[in-house]
Structure 1
Amino acid sequence: MTTTITVIGGPTALLELGGLRILTDPTFDPPGDHPAGPLTLTKTTGPALSPADVGPVDLVLLSHDQHPDNLDGLGRQMMSAAPLTLSTPEAAARIGVTPLHPWQHHDVGRVRVTAVPALHGPPGCEPVVGQVTGFVLTGDGLPTVYISGDNASLEYVELIAGRFPVVDIALLFGGAVRTPMIDGRLTLNATEMMIAARLLKARQVVPLHVEGWTHFTEDRTDVHAAFSEAGLDHLLVSFTPGRPVSLGSARSGAR
């Protein structure tokens, strides 16, 4: 069974894995301003596909619910129609999704979803930005997939790599996000994405969360430049938003 990914925009992608249609961080609103506490975040690019274009999904993996660049109005509607959404305990308390603490797992068909640590900014940022989670997807005969969520910590990436020594596909959220609320980046920059790929020994990398909002300070061009300078540009999956791309199968010994 072929694994495919369709990048929709921002952090949103449709992953077809093990017979499941899995949606990451649903964002489907058109361009415009989005209130986020004391800030207003401005979306500049709409999604490549509408919710109707995507159709039904089996599972939503939500890194966090509190920021509109990871979950917006139409994304919430899309999520509410899905039979299962996995996210943080804070998100579960607010919006009624199924919570996973770090290293807990939930089996959906052939796919085991394990929540993994993530930190949405520099150390100590949690009281301001709230909880965020990443995910690792595994299953017999399936590629191992890491979905970083809005993680800015390479230390956590190294910890995850120690638990999952085989990572076939890494969906890395980047953009080097900055806001006035935090002194430091809230997500990985392009060089850190490259380092994360090395730590994970990833065979394929799909950069997400690198376009479409004014508070993103880097884009896909920066990602390609960082990977090319390191001689790792062959790891980057080439895609056109809205069009599915086939990904690799599991490496020998992957579980």
Structure 2
Amino acid sequence: MTTTITVIGGPTALLEFGGLRILTDPTFDPPGDHPVGPLTLTKTVGPALSPADVGRVDLVLLSHDQHPDNLDGLGRQVVSAAPLTLSTPEAAARTGVTPMHPWQHHDVGRVRVTAVPALHGPPGSEPIVGQVTGFVLTGDGLPTVYVSGDNASLECVKLIAGRFPAVGVALLFGGAVRTPLIDERLTLDAAEMVAAARLLGARHVVPLHVEGWTHFTEGPEDVQAAFSEAGLGDLLVSPAPGRPVPLSVLL
């Protein structure tokens, strides 16, 4: 059974895993402005694939619904059409998706999805940024895959590594996001992505959500430089957007 990853853009990737077509944080809108309360977030790069290009989706892993760089207008249509979307209790209350609390698991076919902690900013920022979750995918004969969501906490990563000591592929969201509402980073920077990879013992890292928005302070080149300087450049896998890459090549 082939297992592949296709990077679509921003936080959005398609995993063909354990017989399922799994989509992370659906964002399919074209470039443009997206109001978020008193802020306007500006998208500069569109997706490599449209929802029609993606085709069938069996499961959506939605780290959170409250920010348009993780769930936009067309992404909401994808969520509505998908047979199952897993996300936070807050997202479930707003959108009707299936809620998951940290460490709760949900079995879909031969794939077990475990919700894992994530913090979208410094401790205490939750009332402003809202709930966020990450996910770990496991299954008999399958690699362990970690999807970080918009997490800024290495303490959360330590907890995850303690429960899942054999991560094959880590999909790490980065970008070192900053906004005027909180004068601290809201996601991992490149150096912290390296630290997360070490904590997880990840065999490979696929960076997601490191480009395409003006509120990001780092890009793919910063990630590449950080991993190279740490002597971990061989862990980093950056597939061309829209091109499926077999995970068996990575493992």
Measured against the shorter chain, the TM-score band is over 0.9
Question: Can you give the 5+ residue segments of structure 1 that lack an aligned partner in the other structure?
Answer: none
How far did 1:249 drift? 8.0
**How far apart are 1:2 and its partner, in Å?**
2.2
Take 2:143 and 2:7, find their aligned partners in 1: how far apart are those partners? 18
Q: Which residue of 2 aligns with 1:43?
A: 43
Which residue of the partner structure matches residue 153 of structure 1?
153
CA distance in 2, matches of 1:158, 1:3: 27
Q: Percent identity?
A: 85
How many equivalent residue pairs?
A: 251
TM-score where L is the length of structure 2: 0.98
Structure-2 separation of matches of 1:37 and 1:79: 22
- In the alignment, does 2:30 pair up with 1:30? yes
Give the whole-Å Cα distance in 1 for the aligned partners of 2:84 and 2:250. Answer: 25
* SS of 1:248 mapped into structure 2: helix
Q: Distance in 1 between matches of 2:185 and 2:49?
A: 29
Aligned to 1:83: 83
Letter in 2 for 1:224: Q
The answer (yes or no) to whether the contact 1:23–1:60 under 8 Å persists in 2 is: yes
**Deviation sequence 1:156-181 (CA, Å, 0-9, x none):** 00110001011000000000000000
Distance 1:248 1:153 in 2: 29
Q: CA deviation at 1:49?
A: 0.3
Q: Confirm or deny: 8 A CA contact 2:27 2:47 kept in the other structure.
A: yes
Distance 2:239 2:119 in 1: 27
Number of the residue aligned with 1:190: 190
CA contact (8 A) 1:143 1:169 kept: yes
Q: Does 2:99 correspond to 1:99?
A: yes
Question: Match for residue 68 of structure 2?
Answer: 68
Alpha-carbon contact 1:121-1:153 (below 8 Å) kept? yes
Q: Please list every run of at least 4 consecutive aligned residues from structure 1 whose deviation after the TM superposition is greater than 6 angstroms.
A: none
Verify the 8 A CA contact 1:65 1:71 in the aligned structure 2: yes
> Are the counterparts in 2 of residues 142 and 249 from structure 1 also a CA contact under 8 Å?
no
Say which is worse superposed, 63-72 or 237-246, in terms of deviation: 237-246
Deviation at 1:250, TM superposition (A): 10
Per mean C-alpha deviation after superposition, the further-off stretch among 226-235 and 236-245 is 236-245
1:138 match: 138
- Bigger shift: residues 241-250 or 37-46: 241-250
Distance 2:56 2:28 in 1: 14
Q: Which amino acid aligns with 1:24?
A: T
Taking structure 1 as the reference length, the TM-score comes to: 0.97
Alignment-derived partner of residue 168 in structure 2? 168
Name the structure 2 match of 1:16: 16
**Map 1:155-234 → 2, pairs under 5 A:** 155-234=155-234
Superposed displacement of residue 183, structure 1: 1.7
Distance in 2, Cα, partners of 1:20 & 1:231: 34
Give structure 2 stretches of 5+ with no counterpart. none
Q: How does 1:122-137 map to 2 (within 5 A)?
A: 122-137=122-137
Amino acid at match of 2:58: D
CA shift, 1:238, in A, is 3.3
Q: Which amino acid aligns with 1:67?
A: H
How many angstroms apart in 2 are the aligned matches of 1:233 and 1:62?
29
| Partner residue, 1:112 | 112
Query: Structure 1 residue 248: deviation in Å?
Result: 3.2
